[in-house]
Structure 1
Amino acid sequence: MIRDFKAQIFCRENKLSKREIDTGDQVWIDRIDSFFRRTSILPPENDPTEYAAAFEAVYPQPRHRRQYIDDAISKGTPCFGQKVLGSLVAGGKADCIFTTNFDPLIEEAVQSANTLLPVARQCRPTVAAIDSADRAMRCLNESGWPLVAKLHGDYQEIAIKNTGSELEKQDERMRHVLVEVSKRFGMVFVGYSGRDASVMEALSSVLTERSPFPNGLYWVASSASRLLPAVTDFLLQVQRAGVDVAIVECATFDELAADVIRTVDLPAELFDHVMNGRPNPRLVPVDVPTAEARAFPVLRYSALLVEALPSVARRMTLAQSTTSPAARELLKAQKCRAIVAANGREIAAFGNDQEILRALSSLGPKLAGTIALDGSKDGWALGLLYDALVTAFSRRRPLIPRLRHAGHSLIISTPREGEDEHRRKWRAGILRELRDVYQSPLSGSVPVLGFPYSEGVFLKLEQIDGRWWCGFDPYTYVELPRSEINSGVGQLDRGLLGDPLVAPAERYSGDPAGDWRRERWAQRYNKQWAAIIHAWARLLTNTSDGETKALDLEDGAGIDAVFRISEVTGWSRPSHHHRYFDRKK
C-alpha cells in the first residue's frame, strides 16, 4: 500500500492525475522515489514510521482510512500462502497466529479448509481484534487454540491502527496475549517489517522472562541485508538471551508456504486443496527440438562483429566542470580533431594530447593518465566508443559522419566543385561496388523537389551475448532546406532546430520526400538487399592492416581509437524445421 500512497502524494504535489503515471513502471517508481528523497513530506525510505506517515498524509481522517482499507479488502482473495496457512490451522498444525493485517483472508482460508473435513476433525479458530481482545484473553487462559489475533484491528471495527499516533501504544490486553504466547511457544515472523514500536517493545519485554520463545525464533525476510535496525537489534538481544534464533531468506510468502507444505503431513483432503490452488509455474518443461539444423534458408544480418575495441582513453582533469557538447564546441573552434566525453571535471578523450590541451585551455585541463572504458556498464564510455567508431569508419572513405543524439549515421559525400581528377577517380573506385548494387546514382537531387540526397547507413553499437556488434541499416538521406523545416513548426520548436542533438526535421513537419524515398526502396527485395549489405560491409571493413582507426595518430602523440572489425557479417541458420520453409511461393 505504501507504493500507492506515495504515488497519490506525488500526483497531488505535482498537480498530476494518477491516470498519467504507472506505478508498475520502474521509470515512474524511480521518479517518485527521487521526489521523496528531495522533499521532507515523508520520513526517509525504510524509516519505521514511513508507512504510517504516508497513510495519514493521504487519508488524514480515520473514517477515510477505514474506507480505503474496506475497498482494498473487498477485492482480495486468499493467495497460495494463505491457503497453506489456513490448511495448517484447520489441520491442527498451527495454534496461534498474530497478524498486523486488517483483512479476513486468513479466516476465509481456514473456513474453506474446514469445509473439506468432517465436523469432528475441524479446527475452528477464534478471531480476536482490538474491539474483541477479551476473546484472545479467554483463549490464552483456557488454551482454546487455535487463535487468530489482529494486533492492529479488523477492517470491520471502528478502532484500527494505522498512523504513528495510533501505533505508539498497543492495546494492553492484546499486548498481554502476545507476551504470554511468546513465553509458551516458539515464533516465526513472516513478512513483518518491525515498524511498529509498540509491538517491538512488547516482544523485547519477553526477553526478561525466564524462558522466552522456548522453541526458538525465526525471522523470514526477502533479504537479511534489508532488515530494519530495530529488527536487527531485537534479534541480537534474542540471541544474547540464549534463544535459538535464525534469519531465513525467502523471496515471497508463497515460496515459503511451498517449502513448508513439503515437510508437513496434512490430511489428504487439505493437501489436495492446497495443491489445486497453486499458481501456474513460470518455468515449464518443454521438448527441445532434436532434428538436425537445416542448411537453408539462411538469414544474413546487417551487422559486423567487433573483434576488438579500445579499452582505454586519455583521462584529463579540469579546473571547472563542463559537458560533452560544450567541450566539442571548444575543439571545433580550434579545429582540433579529437573525440571526447565529459563527466563533470573529467574528460575521456581520443586525440593528440597537446592539441586537446590547447583547445580546452579555458577549462584548465591536465593530463591524468588513462581511464578504462567499459561500454557495457558506463553510458558515457559507450557514447565515446560509438562516436569513435563512426569517426573511424568515415576516415579515408568518401563518407560523412552525422552524429546525432537520436542515432549516428554515415552518408556518402558528394563531389565538390573543382575536385581534381585524382580524387574523382579515387572516389569512383571506392564506391564502384556500392554503385553497381544500388543500380542508381548514390547521390543527386530528388526529382521535382530538387532536394539533395545521398545513400547512407544508420549505425548502432551494441553488446549481444557478451560480444560487440556494429549494426548498419542502409537508408537514403535527404537534405531538407531550412524553409521546409520551418514550415509547420511552432515557435518553441524553431528554437530547438539549432540544437544538433534534436531529432530530424521530418519528425516535426512531415517528410516531403517520403513518397519518393519509399518508392526508391520498394522494389529492392532479398537479392538486392543481400548485395547492398555485402557492399556496405566491404566498404566499411576495407583496410590494409585489418584495423580501423579513428584518427591515425603518430606514436606517442596521444591515444587513438583502434577497432578491429570482422569482414564477415552475422549469419543465422534455422535450428529446426518449420513447414513455412516448404512453401512454394
Structure 2
Amino acid sequence: MPVPEIKEIDFRQHVSQNGKQIMWFLGAGASRSSGLPTATDLTWDLKRRYYCAQENQDVVAHDVSNRSIQARIQAYMDSRDFPPLWDPGEYSFYFELLFGKDHAAQQKYLNTALATEKISSTIGHRALAALLHLGLARVIFTTNFDEVVESAYASIAGKNLTTFHLEGSYAALEALNAERFPFYAKVHGDFRYQTIKNLTDDLIHNDREIQKCLVAAAARFGMVVSGYSGRDGNVMAMFREAIAQNNSFPYGLYWTVTRISRVEKPVCELMDYAHSKGVKGGIVETGTFDEMLVKIWRLVAGKNPDIDAKVRSATASQVRIPLPPAGTTYPILRMNALRIAGFPRTCGAIDYVGALDVGQLKSVLFEKQPPCSVCYTDRILFWGCGRELAKIYEPDRVKSISSFEIDDFVCAINASTYFKSMVEQSVATALVADKPLLPRKRSKTWYAIIDHEEADSDALKPLREVLSWKDRDGTVRNGIVDGRVPGLKDVYWAEAVSLKVEERNGQLWLLLQPDIWISPNKMREEATDFLYKKRIRRYNKQAFEILSAWIQIFLGGVGKGDASVVAYKGTEHPAEFQISMRSAFSKRSD
C-alpha cells in the first residue's frame, strides 16, 4: 500500500484548524537553522577529529561540508573496517572511539557543540512557541539536547516552559492526564542531567516513562513530525507502539520533510504501517522547519499584535539614520580600515552546458587548488587563470570562456555572499603576492601570516622594529615575528592579520585586525595562555604601530595616496585593487 503524500496547503489548513488536538515531535533538523548541529553533523565532526589526530592533519583545513573531504575521511574509516557510511551505529561508535566511557569528556564535547549561547532563535521556533503560548499547540516531544524551544518560549511568553527530562520523566504522564499544558518532553532525556543518552547502550534502555507519555498522548492527539530522519530504531519502535493502539492519532500523523525525494526508508515503512492501521495523514513536503511554521502562523486569525511582533522580531525594515556632521576637533580616533578606492570592472566567466554541481565544484577546487578565485552562480565567475579552471572541472561541458562586466561592484558585494567571498580571497591574494607572507583561511575569514621560512626578510623589518624591546641594560632586541609555542610539541606561532572587505555608506573598506596565528590551527585552544601573554601588553601605542607596520608591508608606505595590488598577475583575468595608504579616522563633533 503506497504511503500517501499530502498537499502542503491541505496540511497547513488541517493544523491551523485542529492545532489544540495535534502534538509536535521535533528532531535535530528543526534546530539546524538555529546554528546547532544535527547528529549527522556531530558524527562527521567526530570522524574528522579522529582522522586528523591519527594522520596529524589540521582540523580547520578539513571542512566536512566538502564532498571531497568527506570521501577522503570516509575512505580512511572504511580502510579500518569501521561502520559503513549511514550505518545506524555510526553515531555511537565514533563517540565510543573518541571518548570511550569518559562521560565527562562526552558531556564537555556536547556542551561546547550545543552551547546555549550558540542558539540563534529562528522565526520557526518563535512561531511554534507562540502557538504554545496561545493554546493553539499543547504538547511537544523531541529527541534534541538543545534549549532552542525553551529559549523561544521564554522570549514569547515571558515565562519558562514546563520541560520533562530524565529526572522528571515520571511526571510527564501525570501532566498529560491532568491536562497541565503546555509542556515539552525530551524522549532521550537531556545529557545535562545524566550520562549521554544518544549512545546505543543507553537508547536500548531509554526512558520508558516519557515514552509512555507519548504513547498515551497518541490515543488523544494527532502528531506532526519535523526535522527527524527516522534512523533511531528505539524511537521508531515507540512510534510503532503508538500506532498499534486502537484509534491511534485520531487527528492524523503527518511526517514533514524538506523534499519528498529525501525520505528515509524507515520513515516510509512506518508511514505505510500507519496507513495500513487506518491512521490518517501521510508525508508532506513543507520545505524547512522555519518555512513551514511561518506559513502556519500566517493562518492564525486574530493574532495578538504584541505576540506577532515578537514572532517577527527579526523582520528587516528599512531605516534612514542621518549621519552626524563630520567632526572638526581633536582628538582623532584612528580606525583599522583602509578605503578600497579602485577595483576590477570585469572578471572571467565560464559558461557550461547544463547546470553546475556546486558541491562537486567545491571539491575540485579544494583538491586541485587552481590559481584563481571563484564565484558560482548560473556560471562560474573568476579572477585568475580560466583555462586552468576549465581543465579541472567538467572540460567536456565548457561552452565558452569570456569576460564578464561587473556593472556595480559595491552592489554585487552586498547582493551576493559568494561574490564577496571571491573578492576577499582576491584581495588577500593580492596583498601577499611577492611578499614573505602566506594566505590562510580560518572559518570564513582570510589571514595573511608570516612565512616561517622567510621571517628574517627585509620586507618584514617594519613589523620586527615595532615589536622590538629593551633589556634591563638598555640593549635593544629585534622583535620576533614567529617561533615555537612553549610547552606544546610541534606547535608554532606567527604574526598575522585578518583581512575583511566591508561596505559602509556606499564605499568599500579593507578591515585589518592584527592577530597571532597558531600552526597547526587545531592547537589554538591549547595555546590560549600563550596567546594571552603574547597580546596582553600590546597597549594603544604598540597596537597603533603594529597596524602601521602591516600597512607598510602590504602597500609600501603609510600616509597619503593609494597603492595598487594585483592578484593573479600574468593571467588573462588579474584582479587589481587600489587601496588607500591612510587608515580611516574620525574627529570629534562640535
| TM-score w.r.t. length of structure 1 | 0.46
Larger-Rg structure: 1
Instruction: Give the structure, 1 or 2, with the largest relative contact order (CA under 8 Å, sep 6 or more).
Output: 2
For normalisation by structure 2, the TM-score amounts to 0.46
